[in-house]
Amino acid sequence: MIGNTKKWIGVAGTITVLAGQFLISPAIFAAGGNAIEEGKKIAFDRKKGNCLACHNIINAPSPGNIAPALVAMKARYASKEELRMQIWDATIKNPESAMPPFGKHGILSEADLEKVIEYVWTL
């Protein structure tokens, strides 16, 4: 229950969450919307996030199937911070994880990483 509550409050604006949940055009919510859109671009970019190499995202072009599909993120992660840790270095949680440590190894810049988290959190 606590996790559930946490899930819905604070973190970079409930607006962002709502935009993702009810598919309201993110453009209406300028600040959060931009970060999400930019995050999506980075996530899809083969040289940057390249999430699609391994993860499926609904309606994404030619995704891989190595890792779990990026859906229901808020049910799978108690907080954005927890999701952040997974993207920062997935081997903390699972030493055998094949996921590259996007934050720890500087594969994404801090700024890009934050945007990707904003985007993935909406999935």
Question: Does residue number 96 form part of the binding site for other proteins (CB under 8 A)?
Answer: yes
Tokens of 114: 């934050």
Buried b (16+ CB within 10 A) or exposed e, 32-56: bbebbebbbebbbeeebbbbbebbb
Question: Does residue number 93 form part of the binding site for other proteins (CB under 8 A)?
Answer: no
For other proteins, the closer CB: 3 or 106: 106
Q: How far is the CB of 84 from other proteins (least distance, A)?
A: 18
Of 42, 63, 87, 115, the residue at the interface with other proteins (CB under 8 A) is 63
User: Between 11 and 50, how does the x/- string for binding to other proteins read (CB under 8 A)?
Assistant: -----------------------------------x----
Q: Is 55 left (phi over 0), alpha (psi -120 to 50) or beta?
A: beta
Question: Does residue number 107 form part of the binding site for other proteins (CB under 8 A)?
Answer: yes
Q: At 84, give phi and psi (nearest 5°).
A: -60, -45
Which residue in this structure is represented by tokens 């040289």? 47
Q: Which residues bind other proteins (CB under 8 A)?
A: 46, 52-54, 62-66, 91, 96, 98, 100-101, 104-107
